[in-house]
Amino acid sequence: MQTLMSPGPLLDDRGHLVETGWAPSEIRKYRRSAITAPKFRIKEWDYYCVLTADYGIALTVADNGYMGLLGVSWLDFRTPHEITENVMLPFPMGRLGLPESADDGDVVVSKGKARFEFRHVDGGRHLIVDYPAFDGGRGLHADLFLASPVDDRMVIATPFPKASRSFYYNQKINCLPAAGTVRIGSDDFTFRSEDSFGVLDWGRGVWTYDNTWYWGSASGLVNGERFGFNIGYGFGDTRAASENIVFVGGRAHKLDRIDFDIPQGTYDGASWNFSSNDGRFEMTFEPIIDRAATFDVGVLRSIQHQVFGKFSGTVILDDGTSVVVRDLLGFAEEVRNRW
């Protein structure tokens, strides 16, 4: 079952989801002031990942109540290697002022000499990051423009069983053509819109304490057309709608259930497999980089394996068309959180 949401506010006057399900646009309106859970339980973040065939960058601004984060990951698929560095922000509790819409409002946050700007401009999104301490003081400066065509996206409102004030409101916006430069030290890396694509993961909500989720995403060109997908499960009650969706030329093709088959004992030493319950999404994944991270301080713990690599397989669209995918760059992850 895939319930299509109708327009309106996201939460009622008790702080509960008015409706659960999915939509191809932001039709349910999030208001932080409507949340009735404690401030320290509120989670808000904007995450961008922009990839080329040779390298990529991931940028995070997160306000997770009692912990905030400014994060940068630089990914080199040729070597391969990755550098991830974070600036931690104690108890932001909403002070970062993250926007209540993925389509309006800017993110501007500074901590020390690190500064992150995610701005809306005509035709797209302008990402500017200055991080002088990155990579042992080499420094990183990113200046990227992500065009934002009027495309379908994955928007989902997910409840948590037995926690009526908890919810997950998430948007995944794939296939954003990206142009600009990233400078690390004295080295410049160019992103061109014809072969560089980004995804925005925009999340707002109140989570339960102990969660494990699986997420995969890819954006690029297949048969000369913009093609991407979002897949995942494990986070909340997704009976009303799954997170699984394919985008072709800006149009969404909704999928049902997809399982992640991760090889035992390794995340990047063997192929992953993905299979849907209706046979519409059958994919293998060849890992290149495991961006692994562990954060463990008493009651707060996060174990992350975000693995970048190449997807190959077959997708069946709504009209029955079969699309063959070969070596599409993206990522898949397993994340276990207690926070």
Cα–Cα distance for residue pair 65/121, rounded to 1 Å: 28
CB 275 within 8 A of CB 259: yes
3-state secondary structure the chain: CCCECCCEECECCCCCECCCEEECCCCEECCHHHCCCCHHHEEEEEEEEEECCCEEEEEEEEECCCEEEEEEEEEECCCCEEEEEEEEEECCCCCCCCCCCCCCCCEEEEECCEEEEEEEECCEEEEEEEECCHHHHCCEEEEEEEECCCCCCEEEEEEECCEEEEEEEEEEEEEEEEEEEEEECCEEEEECCCCCEEEEEEEEEECCCEEEEEEEEEEEEECCEEEEEEEEECCCCCCCCCCCEEEECCEEEECCCEEEECCCCCCCCCCEEEEECCCCEEEEEEEEEEEEEEEEECCEEEEEEEEEEEEEEEEECCCCCEEEEEEEEEEEEEEEEEC
pLDDT of residue 66: 87
pLDDT for the residue 297: 72
Task: Check residue 302 and give its pLDDT.
Answer: 82
The residue written with tokens 């004030």 in the block is 165
* 2 close to 22: Cβ distance less than 8 angstroms: yes
pLDDT digits (tens), the chain, 339 positions: 689 999 999 999 999 999 999 999 999 999 999 999 999 999 999 999 999 999 999 999 999 998 899 999 999 999 999 999 999 999 999 999 999 999 999 999 999 999 999 999 999 999 999 999 999 999 999 999 999 999 999 999 999 988 999 999 999 999 999 999 999 999 999 999 999 999 999 999 999 888 899 999 999 999 999 999 999 999 899 999 999 999 999 999 999 999 999 999 999 999 999 999 999 999 999 999 999 988 777 777 888 999 999 999 999 999 999 999 999 999 999 999 887
Number of other CB atoms surrounding residue 324 within 10 Å: 10
Tell me, what's the pLDDT at 10? 98
Q: How many CB atoms lie within 10 A of CB 18?
A: 15
Structure tokens at 267: 């995340």
Strand partners, 144: 127, 180
Q: What is the dihedral of CA 119, 42, 168, 300, to 10 degrees?
A: 110
- Predicted pLDDT of residue 269: 95
Tell me the pTM: 0.97
Using an 8 Å Cβ cutoff, are 107 and 46 in contact?
Answer: yes
Residue type at position 203:
G
Cα distance between residue 162 and residue 242, in whole Å:
19
CA distances from 162 to 40, 104, 107, 167, 237 (A): 19, 33, 33, 11, 10
**126: exposed, middle or buried (C-beta count within 10 Å: 0-12, 13-18, 19+)?**
middle
Residue with token string 């699309």: 323
pLDDT of residue 299: 72
- Report the residue count for the chain: 339
Write down the pLDDT at residue 296.
73
In the prediction, which pLDDT does 328 show? 98
| Cβ atoms of 233 and 138 closer than 8 Å | no
Residue 139 phi, psi dihedral angles, 5° rounding: 85, 150
